[in-house]
Amino acid sequence: MHTLSQLKSGELSGTQHLKLSENLTTFPEEIFSLADSLEILDLSGNQLTSLPDELAKFQKLKIIFASNNLFETLPEVLGKCPNLEMVGFKANKISNVPANALPEKLRWLILTDNCVETLPDSLGERPRLQKLALAGNRLTELPQTMAQLTNLELVRISANQLAECPEHLLNLPKLAWLAFSGNPFSQSDLEIHSVPEVASSSYTLQEVLGQGASGVISKAAWNQPQAEFPSEIAVKVFKGEVTSDGYPEDELKACLKVGRHPNLVQSLAQVNEEDYSALIMGLIPSHYSNLGFPPCLDSCTRDTFPPGFTLSINEIDKIIAQMKDLFDHLHTNKVSHGDLYAHNTLFDEEANIIFGDFGAATMYHMLTEKQQEKIRQIEQRALNHFIDDLLSVCAEEDKLSNKYIQLNQQIVN
């Protein structure tokens, strides 16, 4: 985080990445001194409503974040920035997306949690677009021109007002990660009672284990011994508001619909009280660790791994076999995970895996058989990328093995 005083003093001269959050109501003129060097501009957490036309002079600007501001219109100047690739305007008040506000080189667009009702046809005229986050808006339809987005790989359209399944998206050749819960076309009155309900007063939350977009996961202890549940538990308390993937209640429903599988985080019970929703889960053993890290700005949609991290081909083969079995389990239950990645996978020294994070998951039993098959094909691409990512960290001495060759062939097929 930088400060306006640093900028004014000249201390940040030549910087490539600027982050300012000081309740700004206007764009600081001092930023123009960085026009020749700035590549990433982060103005999130201010009170901005507009950007100056002079922003088009920033020839090296590739990424702009302006989340949690007061924009009502996506600034048209963005479309004039010659090298801008990533635009993030989450949690504003945007209702208007002008046709010329979308940069020609756009790869990644985030408009989550706004008031957008319609999108311009020009969205489908951005051939480099790979990642599109539109959850939590008021969209009733998507431009038919999006059928032209042959490089689009990840889409979030949950928590909108789409009355019909967007068939033109299902046919996109590279789409691999799709979340679409919380729309009229994906509504379901299915009652799921796969786990019992318990009261929030039956346990006490302890230390926080993790925090995501939809809720906080904590270690917990039962206040009284429970014969039907293990003594060590974790509790995910849902935040309640819309996330980058959709509504937390849809996450909970999808998680419960999937049921049990040896490679899933085990769901034990749920809490369903006024203004309080939670999922009680089995506590994951401490010897499990993350298999991968989330995509970075450069990789966009593909997972990353620590420098020097490798797996033997036997470990990779075992992990993939477990994930394939889990994939079949998910789709037998008509649930698309929507976020099938190594960074949502935990593994131990024996290459056993535990998979979780259902924030982008969607039940799809209400769709037609043809649509259901396309949903499965989309997630099959995600599984192929998962395999490919693991093979990218395969130990060098194993890359000539028959198993390595066979797994590579599976991706092609």
- How far CA 75 is from CA of 49, 50, 101, 102, in Å, comes to 9, 6, 6, 9
CA 208 to chain centroid: 21
Give the position of tokens 């504003």: 92
Euclidean distance between CA atoms 128 and 300, whole angstroms: 12
What length does the chain have? 413
Sort strands 154-156 and 131-133 into parallel, antiparallel or unpaired.
Answer: parallel
DSSP, collapsed to helix, strand or coil, labels residue 162 as coil
Euclidean distance between CA atoms 359 and 229, whole angstroms: 24
Q: Do the beta carbons of residue 78 and residue 56 sit within 8 Å?
A: no
Produce one character per residue of 193-228: b if its CB has 16 or more CB atoms within 10 Å, e if not. Answer: eebeebebeebebeeeeeebbbbbbbebebeeebee
Closest CA to 131 of 191, 70, 63, 196: 63
Closest CA to 403 of 332, 319, 280, 343: 319
DSSP, collapsed to helix, strand or coil, labels residue 354 as strand
Q: Do the beta carbons of residue 231 and residue 240 sit within 8 Å?
A: no
**Number of helical (H) and strand (E) elements in the chain, helices listed first:** 6, 18
- CA-based radius of gyration for the chain: 23
Is 236 part of any known ligand binding site?
yes
Closest CA to 73 of 55, 91, 53, 50: 50
Annotated binding site for ATP: 236
Annotated binding site: 236
